[in-house]
Structures are given as C-alpha cells and as structure tokens.
C-alpha cells in the first residue's frame, strides 16, 4: 500500500509544480482536523479535492491560502514557502467560491478594478478589459453585481480570480448554485484556463459527474486524511464499484483505517 497522506512530494527542478503540500496538519483542542496531508498540483492540471462535509477540505484550502496557520507541515506555492514569504507566495495564487460573493453594490468593472488594485496589477485598465472579454462580461461591465444571475456572478468571480495571472487557482464548489447549462459552460471555461494559462487548479466539488469530466486526478479526503488518489475515470473500476459516486459514498460511509493504493 502507498501512504498517500505522508509521502513527501518529489523535487521539481523544472518548476512544473505550482502547489506542494507536505505533511500538512491542523489540530484543535480534542480534534485533529487535518492529519499530515501531502500532495502536489502541477501546471495544466486540475486536481479534485473530494470528501464528505467535515472531511477537512475547507481547512486544507484555508491553510493553503494562509487564512489558517498549520499546526504541522508546510505549503509552497510556485516554489515559494508560504510560512517564510507569505506575500510572495500568495501573489502566485487566487481563489473563487460561491460563498465568497463580490460586493453587490459595486458594478462588475468596479469590482475588477478594486481587486486589481489590491493585487497591484500593472496596466490595470487593459487587464480588466481582457478578462471582461474572456468571460463574456462586456455587456455587464456597468451592472451591479448584486443583481446578476448566479451564472453571471460565477463568471465575474472567475474573472476576478484570474486577474493576477495566478499559477495556482483554488476553486471551492464553483458551480454549486448553477443550472446544468450554466455549469457546463463554467466547467469548459475552467478546463480551458488550465490549458491556456498553464496554471494548476485545485477544485472541490460534490458533483462526481463534474469531477469525472474536468479533473485529471482526484484526492479523497476523510477524517483529515487522504485515503485514495488517482484518475477519477479509473478509480471506480480499480476498486470494484461502477461509478465514482458510489466510490465516494463507500469512502464517506466506511472510512478506511489505512490509505488505499494510488490508482492512475
């Protein structure tokens, strides 16, 4: 068996690794929320971080973003140690989630300009125009974000998240509030982002169909540990179940005492 949650990521002389998480853990009084998690995300790769509610996904993401300080282990973004050079490391990353809504009283363009100033983006006017075009938002540039549809708000949030040309993009349930047609469009855009911009993406979702369509690799997290890792299209067959959803349910209901082998 492979110890999926304690193996140290390999060296990366070519600079292809955009996120390296090594032995990461978070301990609260009486609770081990994340237990020595290790994994990597590479350029042009979409990695799904999966698990039931309470598995430790959000805690892991918050430690990667520097919102929470880990009890143990470390994070490197674009090769930069988050603990030692926080500002430089976080300048390589960005984040989007349905629960992190942009200010509703500002227009689309005002929101993008505000965050562009926060990120210190050069030639900001041109960059805002570029992301408005990329996400088909030109006709909404003067519309307040609070009156946009869920799909439109998601597009604006993604436009904000790519303003600084991040090497690492963290997406927490990015399509959770969307109808199927809008979700399909957003999935295609995110998949295209990884290919065109060469960024790496860490994606959380409870939609296993979506995960199979978008993700190159998945990590199953349960009780703060990575139990399983591999190709989402190959894992179900490798572990004797017909679908990724059934594998998810099996792991959620009957957490394993030891990590399963990686399957590619």
87-141 confidence digits (pLDDT tens): 999 999 999 987 788 999 999 999 999 999 999 999 999 999 999 998 999 999 9
Q: Which residues contact 168 (CB under 8 A, 6 or more apart)?
A: 18, 19, 41, 77, 78, 92, 93, 94, 199, 200, 201, 202
pLDDT of residue 253: 77
- Tell whether 126 and 241 lie within a shared domain: no
How much is the CA Rg of the chain, to the nearest whole Å? 18
**Mean pLDDT computed over 207-232:** 92
- In this predicted structure, the answer to whether residue 226 has a pLDDT above a threshold of 60 is yes
What are 75's two structure tokens? 């994070």
Last residue of a domain, one of 137, 165, 193: 165
What are 219's two structure tokens? 């990590």
Percentage of the chain exceeding pLDDT 70: 91
Confidence class of residue 150 from pLDDT cuts 50, 70 and 90?
Answer: confident
**Mean pLDDT computed over 214-234:** 93
- Tell whether 107 and 225 lie within a shared domain: no
- Tell whether 85 and 116 lie within a shared domain: no
- Tell whether 176 and 245 lie within a shared domain: yes
168-217 confidence digits (pLDDT tens): 999 988 888 788 888 888 888 888 888 887 899 999 988 898 899 999 99
pLDDT of residue 50: 94
Q: Looking at the 3D structure of the chain, how many domains does it have?
A: 2
- Tell whether 69 and 179 lie within a shared domain: yes
- Tell whether 204 and 226 lie within a shared domain: yes
CATH code assigned at 56:
3.40.50.300
- Tell whether 106 and 85 lie within a shared domain: no
- In this predicted structure, the answer to whether residue 14 has a pLDDT above a threshold of 70 is no
52-61 confidence digits (pLDDT tens): 888 899 899 9
- In this predicted structure, the answer to whether residue 3 has a pLDDT above a threshold of 50 is no
In angstroms, the CA 240 to CA 221 distance is 19
- Tell whether 23 and 111 lie within a shared domain: no
Residue 218 belongs to what domain range? 1-92+169-264
- Tell whether 78 and 59 lie within a shared domain: yes
pTM of the predicted protein model = 0.86
In angstroms, the CA 95 to CA 160 distance is 9
Cα angle at 22 between 159 and 47, to 5 degrees? Answer: 40
- Tell whether 14 and 139 lie within a shared domain: no
- Tell whether 160 and 185 lie within a shared domain: no
Q: In this structure, what are the phi and psi dihedrals at residue 134, rounded to the nearest 5 degrees? A: -60, -35
Which region holds residue 57: left if phi is over 0, alpha if psi is between -120 and 50, else beta?
Answer: alpha
Last residue of a domain, one of 147, 165, 183: 165
Last residue of a domain, one of 145, 165, 185: 165
- Tell whether 147 and 22 lie within a shared domain: no
- In this predicted structure, the answer to whether residue 233 has a pLDDT above a threshold of 60 is yes
């Amino acid at each position: 068996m492979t110890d999926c949650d304690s193996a140290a990521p390999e060296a990366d002389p070519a600079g292809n690794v955009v996120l390296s998480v090594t032995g990461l853990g978070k301990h609260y009084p009486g609770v081990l929320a994340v237990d020595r998690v290790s994994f990597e995300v590479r350029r042009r790769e979409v990695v799904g971080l999966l698990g039931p509610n309470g598995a430790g996904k959000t805690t892991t993401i918050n430690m990667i973003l520097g919102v929470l300080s880990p009890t143990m282990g470390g994070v490197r973004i674009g090769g930069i140690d988050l603990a030692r050079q926080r500002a430089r490391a976080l300048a390589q990353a960005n984040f989007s989630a349905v629960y992190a809504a942009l200010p509703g009283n500002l227009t689309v363009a005002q929101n993008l300009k505000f965050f562009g100033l926060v990120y210190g983006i050069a030639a900001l006017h041109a960059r805002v125009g570029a992301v408005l075009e990329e996400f088909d938002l030109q006709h909404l540039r003067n519309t307040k974000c609070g009156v946009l549809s869920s799909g439109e708000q998601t597009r604006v949030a993604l436009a904000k998240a790519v303003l600084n040309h991040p090497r690492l993009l963290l997406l927490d349930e990015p399509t959770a509030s969307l109808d199927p047609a809008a979700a399909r469009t957003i999935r295609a855009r995110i998949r295209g982002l990884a290919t065109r911009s060469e960024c790496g993406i860490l994606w959380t979702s409870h939609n296993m169909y979506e995960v199979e369509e978008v993700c190159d690799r998945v990590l199953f997290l349960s009780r703060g540990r990575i139990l399983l890792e591999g190709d989402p299209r190959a894992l179900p067959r490798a572990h004797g179940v017909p679908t990724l959803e059934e594998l998810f349910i099996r792991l959620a209901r009957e957490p394993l005492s030891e990590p399963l082998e990686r399957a590619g």
